[in-house]
Amino acid sequence: MDAVETAGHLGIPRAVNDHCDSAGIRLNYEVVGRVVAAVPVQPPSGRALEGRE
């Protein structure tokens, strides 16, 4: 996907294409992992799951 071209079609005046490298991919996984780990896990009943209290 060409992000710049697609953004232009959507009326977004500025965009960049992402060029992945191993350092950037590693950083993305680390950051997303931290965010996911910080979210409390609760079933629909509202009680915390066993071992995650």
Residues 4-49 pLDDT 10s: 888 888 998 888 777 789 998 999 899 999 999 998 877 667 666 6
pLDDT computed for residue 49 by the predictor: 61
Cα distance between residue 35 and residue 42, in whole Å? 16
More confident residue, 33 or 3: 33
More confident residue, 30 or 50: 30
Contacting residues for 16 by C-beta, under 8 A, at least 6 apart: 3, 4
